[in-house]
Chains A and B, each alone.
Chain A
Amino acid sequence: RKEVEQDPGPFNVPEGATVAFNCTYSNSASQSFFWYRQDCRKEPKLLMSVYSSGNEDGRFTAQLNRASQYISLLIRDSKLSDSATYLCVVKAAGGTSYGKLTFGQGTILTVHP
């Protein structure tokens, strides 16, 4: 089983739609969680951290379920510019602050007119 698993998609949605991605992780000791965004043929960029109580950033909502070991990303009112690959990233607990980051393989989102 992969340490971090995502549905690779692709998800094809119309503008204005709400879309949600899930990501599961296998290490119950994981301590930090993130969503990165990667545009086609570009480098990944941090989209948002995921906090235990859930958090919002504009149209984006991230949630964490430690009991079931998954995180989710909800995008409301999708825009064409949201088309990208969304990477789930999990940081394992470690003895140093530079704990290991594990990336999921990414979920492809295409928003069409």
Chain B
Amino acid sequence: NAGVTQTPKFQVLKTGQSMTLQCAQDMNHEYMSWYRQDPGMGLRLIHYSVGAGITDQGEVPNGYNVSRSTTEDFPLRLLSAAPSQTSVYFCASSSKGWANEKLFFGSGTQLSVL
């Protein structure tokens, strides 16, 4: 099993550009989520989904969109990148049995916005 696959690993954007971070899991997990990790801040929840067709906002959703058309995929879209979105992004999934507690994370995306 590949687990949670996240791409790209690194990305540099200019202010105002848009892009999509891809996330796919092959564990048939209902719950998927996106976090960002900044120094001294801990991981903060951006958006999450409890199943295909269902998404909801987390703690820091502004500037990001998500969709969940399939169980496997949960892409994160940056609409108009800003320097404040420079961060490390992690996608995570978990099974219904664990709710969202035992998270399986992707390997992360280092994003720099210039």
* Residues 16-50 of chain A, each 1 if its beta carbon lies under 8 Å from chain B, else 0: 00000000000000001010100001111110010
**CA gap between A97 and B48 in the complex, in Å:** 13
Report the Cα distance A103→B50, complex, angstroms.
Answer: 19
Residues of A at the B interface (CB closer than 8 Å) are 4, 8, 32, 34, 36, 41-46, 49, 87, 91, 96-106
Contacts of B35 in A (CB 8 A): 103
Which residues 95-111 of B have a CB within 8 angstroms of A? 96, 99-103, 105-108
- CB <8 Å contact, A98 and B99: yes
Do A44 and B41 touch (CB < 8 A)? no
23 cross-chain CB contacts under 8 A: A8-B40, A34-B101, A36-B103, A41-B108, A42-B107, A43-B105, A44-B90, A45-B105, A46-B102, A46-B103, A87-B43, A97-B96, A97-B99, A97-B100, A98-B48, A98-B100, A99-B99, A100-B45, A103-B35, A103-B42, A103-B43, A105-B40, A105-B42
B59 to A: closest C-beta gap in Å: 8
Give the top 6 A-B pairs by smallest Cβ distance, nearest first: A43-B105, A103-B42, A97-B99, A103-B43, A105-B42, A98-B100
Q: Which residues of A contact B103 (CB under 8 A)?
A: 36, 44, 46, 101
Chain B positions near chain A (C-beta within 8 angstroms): 31, 35, 40-45, 48, 50, 59, 90, 96, 99-103, 105-108
Q: Which residues of A contact B45 (CB under 8 A)?
A: 100-101
For residue B89, give the distance in angstroms from its CB to the closest CB of chain A. Answer: 11
Residue of A nearest to B103 (CB): A46
- Cα A75 to Cα B39 in complex, Å, equals 24
Which residues of A have CB within 8 Å of B43? 44, 87, 103
The interface residues of chain B lying within 8 Å CB-to-CB of A34 are 101
Task: Tell me, in angstroms, the Cα distance from A8 to B105 when the chains sit together.
Answer: 22
Residues of A within 8 A of B48 (CB): 98
User: What residue in chain A is nearest B110 (Cβ atoms)?
Assistant: A41
Is the Cβ of B107 less than 8 Å from the Cβ of A4?
A: no
